[in-house]
Amino acid sequence: MVIKLPEHVSAKEARTFMRALQPELRRDRPRVVVDMSAVKDIDTAALDMLLECMSKIARRDGAVKLAGISPEAATVLELTRMDQIFEMFPTVSEAASSFSVAPVDNKLSDEASPQPAVA
């Protein structure tokens, strides 16, 4: 699920964000990308919302990733040290593709698996 935040993110937008997130929170291992490319102003209520979102999704063994972070949002994330908590990506597509699991090399796993015992 990708959620794009508006230019100004305050308590009202944070509530809207959490409502939009509800269907994803019913899933196993939810995956959410927050597009922050348009954000020019973000307040503490919105930062709290991001932390709450991460906490709820982590409880369901999922992940939240931030993408396309505007310079203004990047400054706020750095000042609050939230840049050290969230995985951040230059684009939404890079964040979304980071959820993909690397394919297993079958050749390696076939050689490593023991042969079944014959009775």
Within a domain: residue 117? no
89 belongs to a structural domain: yes
Task: Answer yes or no: pTM beyond 0.95.
Answer: no
Q: What ranges make up the beta strands (E) of the chain?
A: 2-4, 8-9, 31-35, 41-42, 63-67, 87-89
How much is the pLDDT for 117? Answer: 53
In this prediction, the residues of the chain whose per-residue pLDDT falls under 50 are 102-114
Looking at the DSSP bridge assignments, the partners of residue 34 are 3, 66
- Of 5, 4, 54, 9, nearest to 30 by C-alpha is 54
pLDDT on residue 24? 87
Give me the pLDDT at residue 25, please. 87
Residue 88: the pLDDT is 94
Count structural domains, the chain. 1
The backbone torsions φ and ψ at residue 114, rounded to the nearest 5 degrees and listed phi first, read -70, 155
Q: Is residue 111 part of a domain?
A: no
Q: Is residue 86 situated within a structural domain?
A: yes
CATH number at residue 51: 3.30.750.24
Q: What pLDDT was estimated at residue 74? A: 94
What confidence score (pLDDT) does residue 119 get? 55
Residue 38 belongs to domain spanning:
2-100
| Residue 110 in domain | no
Instruction: Tell me if 108 is assigned to some domain.
Output: no
